[in-house]
Amino acid sequence: MDTNISSFKGETGVDARRRIRNGGSNLAPTSGMAPGFVQGNLAILPKALAADFARFCQLNPKPCPLLASSEPGDWRLPTLGEDLDIRTDIPLYRVWKNGELVEEVRDLKKVWRDDLVSFVLGCSFSFEEALVEAGLEIRHQTQNVNVPMYRTNVQCKPSGPFHGAMVVSMRPFKPADAIRAVQVTTRFPSVHGAPVHLGKPELIGIKDIAKPDYGDSVTVKDDEFPVFWACGVTPQSVVATAKPEFCITHAPGYMLITDLLNSQLAVL
Amino acid sequence: MDTNISSFKGETGVDARRRIRNGGSNLAPTSGMAPGFVQGNLAILPKALAADFARFCQLNPKPCPLLASSEPGDWRLPTLGEDLDIRTDIPLYRVWKNGELVEEVRDLKKVWRDDLVSFVLGCSFSFEEALVEAGLEIRHQTQNVNVPMYRTNVQCKPSGPFHGAMVVSMRPFKPADAIRAVQVTTRFPSVHGAPVHLGKPELIGIKDIAKPDYGDSVTVKDDEFPVFWACGVTPQSVVATAKPEFCITHAPGYMLITDLLNSQLAVL
């Protein structure tokens, strides 16, 4: 997605956040920024909904791997980064009211409330880095498109108003590479972990692999399987369905860059 | 295979070997004996072929996971067991000359030679125990038949006279269980480890999944994949092809029972 990746070589998480915070007109998706550092999905909810959402994440760790949550009203997330301000450190935010997108904003200073709780969830960028380091081809990277994502018929475990189907992302692999991909991503449970399904898309309610519900279609060759991972679009879809009176998310592709290294997330 | 498994509860590896050594008329396959203890495949070759065979195992660790090899002429394998005598501790042996099976014997005392080197290779019993402990169904156990095995078109890396195609065993699983089975068996590299292939049997030269080359056919349901592991029949097939002037193997199903625990083989 980014056309100027080489310029981010050596950039750290805190470097990237400060650059974004002072970014002015250079709005760009965060893919490729601060190479090696963990990027995360953001959901900000009023405290009245925070306990239910925290439990939703705990019940559904594969689609909703919780990396950190804040104190109510506190814009800091000290376990994720030095000098991190969740109101300013993401390039583009979406503000939702009663389930409707009302605006996209470059910072949250005007919409901040003292009852807001921030949730940062792991994202697939981290395990994709590990797959590439293992010598595997990530098809949507090769084809230079967004990862294909699909709504499934697999229901998340509900918590309060939060309920809905799991969304999955798909990467095609030959059988031996699919086995290797299971091994590699198993090491990263806090960023979706091992696949939830492979082959036989109809068994999880996917009717046409060529028609993803989000992102772009990629080629699946005759000697390959589609391999499916739980996807961070799930909590966004679930939050939209719950229609909270107020909610903030990152805009798709514009993630929170943390001070954690992807390699630190490996449990083995 | 064994109809009297409960009688082996609490039996150790050394218990089982001593019972077999003094076994008299009670000839039975070793499946179910000394629960929890590692059982191994046996190949005994003249020293003149031992270096090539050792290298064959090193080059092909998935079908030929070497647990131990002996000094020439020495019938002991101290890393595998206290008071272990490879000439007497397996219920039934096969003696081969120039690639032909010449006899099945209950001990090796009459055929032993001072130049013989014993090789003990890991077997799938160990990882099957781990799969069952993980709550997975092993179809050939449920159907009370031998595991289905297939010759593939995947060539082993050759060493001296030893060459040939890999043989695989097959266990069917639903996709999520196949992913779990990859995780569980990855922990056991010394007993074949992770699967080598899944689904799409035609890609490894298997024409009809219902017609295994060894063992018995098992049901593969519509919502399941065949999952393939490298199989200990590979070295037997390779040794038969090499037609050594003299060779001894265990008879199929009659394994060496060691003092190692299956759980000790887990690398994680």
> Residue A2 has what pLDDT?
45
Specify whether A242 is located in the same domain as A119: yes
Q: Which of A66, A68, A80, A60 is nearest to A162 (CA)?
A: A60
Q: B178 to chain A: which residues are within 8 Å by CB?
A: 198
Could you report the per-residue pLDDT of B34-87, keeping only the tens digit for each?
A: 999 999 999 999 999 999 999 999 999 999 999 999 999 999 999 999 999 999
Judgement on whether residues B98 and B133 belong to the same structural domain of the protein = no
One domain for residues A116 and A246: yes
Check whether residue B129 and residue B63 sit in a common domain: no
- Structure confidence at residue B1 (pLDDT): 43
Residue B252 pLDDT > 60: yes
Q: Give pTM, 2 decimals.
A: 0.90
**Measured in whole angstroms, how far is the alpha carbon of residue B217 from the centre of its chain?**
19
List, for residues B219-241, the tens digit of each pLDDT value: 999 999 999 999 999 999 999 89
In chain B, the DSSP E strands lie at: 37-46, 66-69, 93-97, 100-105, 116-122, 149-155, 165-173, 197-198, 225-230, 247-250, 256-261
* Domain around A25: 5-123+236-265
Do B140 and B228 have their domain in common?
Answer: yes
B179, B231: one domain: yes
Residues A28 and A112 in one domain: yes
B179 touches chain A (CB under 8 A): yes
User: Residue B162 has what DSSP assignment?
Assistant: B
Same domain flag for B119 and B129: no
A268–B175 C-beta distance less than 8 A: no
Task: Say yes or no: B188 contacts chain A, CB-CB below 8 A.
Answer: no
Q: What is the CA angle A80-A74-A60, rounded to 5?
A: 60
pLDDT of residue B25: 61
**What domain count does chain B have?**
2
Do A227 and A257 lie in one domain? The reply is: no
Share the mean pLDDT of chain B: 94
Q: B144 and B218 in one domain?
A: yes
Which residue from B176, B194, B223 is facing A179, i.e. has the nearest CB? B194
Average pLDDT of the segment spanning B107-122: 97
Rounded distance between C-alpha atoms, residue B28 and residue B4, angstroms? 10
> Residue A63, SS3?
coil
**Could you tell me if B104 and B94 are in contact, meaning their C-beta atoms sit under 8 angstroms apart?**
yes
Residue with tokens 């036989």: A200
Q: Domain with B40 in it: what CATH number?
A: 3.40.1640.10
For residue A4, what pLDDT is reported?
Answer: 53
Query: How is B99-118 classified by DSSP, letter by letter?
Result: TEEEEEES-STTT--TTEEE
Q: Per-residue confidence of chain A (268 residues) as pLDDT tens digits? A: 444 556 789 999 999 999 999 986 678 889 899 999 999 999 999 999 999 999 999 999 999 999 999 999 999 999 999 999 999 999 999 999 999 999 999 999 999 999 999 999 999 999 999 999 999 999 999 999 999 999 999 999 999 999 999 999 999 999 999 999 999 999 999 999 999 999 999 999 999 999 999 999 999 999 999 999 999 999 999 998 999 999 999 998 899 999 999 999 999 8
Cβ–Cβ below 8 Å for B176 and A194: no
Looking at the fold, whether A94 and A14 belong to one and the same domain comes out as: yes
Whether residue A199 and residue B223 make contact (CB cut-off 8 A), yes or no, is: no
Task: Tell me the H-state helices in chain A.
Answer: 13-21, 47-59, 125-133, 139-142, 175-186, 233-242
At A221-265, the pLDDT tens digits run: 999 999 999 999 999 999 989 999 999 999 988 999 999 999 999
Query: CB atoms < 10 A from the CB of B155, how many?
Result: 11
- A165 and A58 in a single domain? The answer is no
Please state the ipTM of this predicted complex.
Answer: 0.86
Q: How far apart are CA A150 and CA A170, in angstroms?
A: 8
CATH of the domain at A162: 3.30.2040.10
Task: Give me the residue from A175, A186, A195 closest to B203, CB to CB.
Answer: A175
pLDDT at A24: 64
Beta carbons of B175 and A199 less than 8 Å apart: yes
